[in-house]
Structure 1
Amino acid sequence: MTLVPPHRTKLFISYSHQDQVWLDRLKRHLKPSIRNGNLDAWDDTRIRPGQQWKQEIRDALDAARVAVLLISVDFFDSDFIATNELPPLLAAAREQGVVILPLIVTVSRFTREPELCCFQAVNSPDRPLDKMDGPDQETLLNRLAEQIETLCSP
């Protein structure tokens, strides 16, 4: 396995804006580690007015040690994700050891996407988050947060 270069320290979260609720729920599980300075999690909600948003995304992709992909039909519908986020993340996984963690949010074409389904998903594609009850969703998100914290620790 390729060692992740030392400049790659962040968590990058790729998601469709249609799945904002799932992003927010994941971030609540990560908040204590972010607040304590143990985790630098990046998603596009960190882009501020006046910033060059495409450059901000490129910089965050270049700094990613771990990437969580919130997989849904809307994720696959996004041309921006398909052309601007996935190619550099997949290349970084192949060439630099960046860890890709697909989180299956809704039923989608995940198992028919050879470049993605080769990565072990956090949950089974047969059991997406939106098909789980609340306690099972929270258990899965907590387990994912724990895994992210471990992978992003120095």
Structure 2
Amino acid sequence: MARLFFSYCHADEALRDRLGVHLSLLTRQGAIETWHDRRVTAGEEFAGSIDAELNRADIILLLVSPDFLASNYCYDVEMSRAMERNEAGEARVIPVILRHCDWLHAPFGRLLAAPRDGKPIQSWPDLDEAFLDVVQKIRDALPRTSAVKPTITASDNGMPDLITAISADITMYRKEDYFKRSRELCLPFRCPILDRCGRRKRTFEIVSNCDGLGFPIQDDHGPMLPMQGEEAYLVGGANNFFVSGTCPEVALFDESRFFSGLSGYPTSRGSYDKYEKPKYKVIQTSHFSECVEFNSYANQKATLKNGNI
């Protein structure tokens, strides 16, 4: 069961309550457990209770409005901590736009917002339709990883005596999960900014620098979109290394241009140790919809073109 935390201003309590009603089926199905500050009971320490629940949450909903942005506690405390946990991969932050405001310039403005195209709930002709769209986004964000059975194959990346192995206790996206996720989000199967993405370019550079291969990326589709958020990097050497922040599409679809022991899955974080078994470990996989670069692109395009991504 995923724990869901509402970060909101009390001026928007009626909209929060209405969203809670729309989430009731997910609650009945045992998929989520919701919490907001009205659950603090008499005698409990108010700020401490909020901090504890915020740090336990799997999904954090930022209910965004002018009052939310103006609230020192919502913005400086709850939102700041939520973004820290989102960046660390500890929780998923979903901005839910309640009313028109300058939210795109906030730290969470690069995240894909709900409802669709970041259109404020109160501007929808049918509020129930807007809330339904939010619920669908939340349902899509619930943990749904697939266990992967161990597979062992010989390495073909030119490095001596390496074995490709996926640890038995790792859960991750497989290729079919990746495509399913795209369908669920009504997105293309492949990331639409590949040939312009700075993260993909940096991923190729990391692999090329490590194994001596040259795979230049051609910028044929306009100016390069800079890498944002966590940097893609590799630390280590010939006997062991840790790689993080890489473009998941390179590992999944450009297998010959990635570390073979970490390819075949949308790997965004992995490691290699010559003296361990398995030598290669896929630590984290991701979908392009979770990438900062794509979300920034999608939000900007939705704003400029009235929601047509």
TM-score tier after normalising by the smaller chain length: 0.7 to 0.9
Alignment of 1:4-43 (within 5 A): 9-43=2-36
Aligned residue in 2 for 1:46: 39
Aligned residue in 2 for 1:152: 142
1-side partners of 2:112 and 2:136: how far apart? 16
Identity of paired residues, percent? 22
Partner AA of 1:138 in structure 2: D
By how many angstroms is 1:99 displaced?
A: 1.4
Aligned residue in 1 for 2:114: 122
1:58 and 2:51 are equivalent in the alignment: yes
Closer, same or farther in 2 for the Cα pair 1:79/1:103, shift >3 Å?
A: same
Higher relative contact order (Cα pairs below 8 Å, separated by 6+ residues): 1
2-side partners of 1:91 and 1:121: how far apart? 17
By how many angstroms is 1:100 displaced?
A: 1.3
Aligned residue in 2 for 1:98: 91
Helix, strand or coil: the match of 1:96? coil
Contact preservation (8 Å) 1:39, 1:153 = no
Contact preservation (8 Å) 2:59, 2:91 = yes
Partner AA of 2:54 in structure 1: L
By how many angstroms is 1:51 displaced?
A: 0.8
2-side partners of 1:74 and 1:29: how far apart? 23
Contact preservation (8 Å) 1:16, 1:75 = yes
Between the two proteins, the alignment pairs up a number of residues equal to: 143
Task: Determine which structure has more spread, i.e. the larger CA radius of gyration.
Answer: 2
Closer, same or farther in 2 for the Cα pair 1:143/1:130, shift >3 Å?
A: closer
1:143 and 2:137 are equivalent in the alignment: no
1:131 and 2:123 are equivalent in the alignment: yes
1-side partners of 2:90 and 2:143: how far apart? 15
Could you state the TM-score of these two structures normalised by the residue count of structure 2? 0.43
Q: CA RMSD in A?
A: 1.9
Structure 2 residues without counterparts, runs of 5 or longer: 145-309
Contact preservation (8 Å) 2:61, 2:95 = yes
1-side partners of 2:26 and 2:74: how far apart? 26
2-side partners of 1:131 and 1:144: how far apart? 14
Aligned residue in 1 for 2:65: 72
Contact preservation (8 Å) 1:38, 1:153 = no
Contact preservation (8 Å) 1:13, 1:70 = yes
1-side partners of 2:141 and 2:112: how far apart? 15
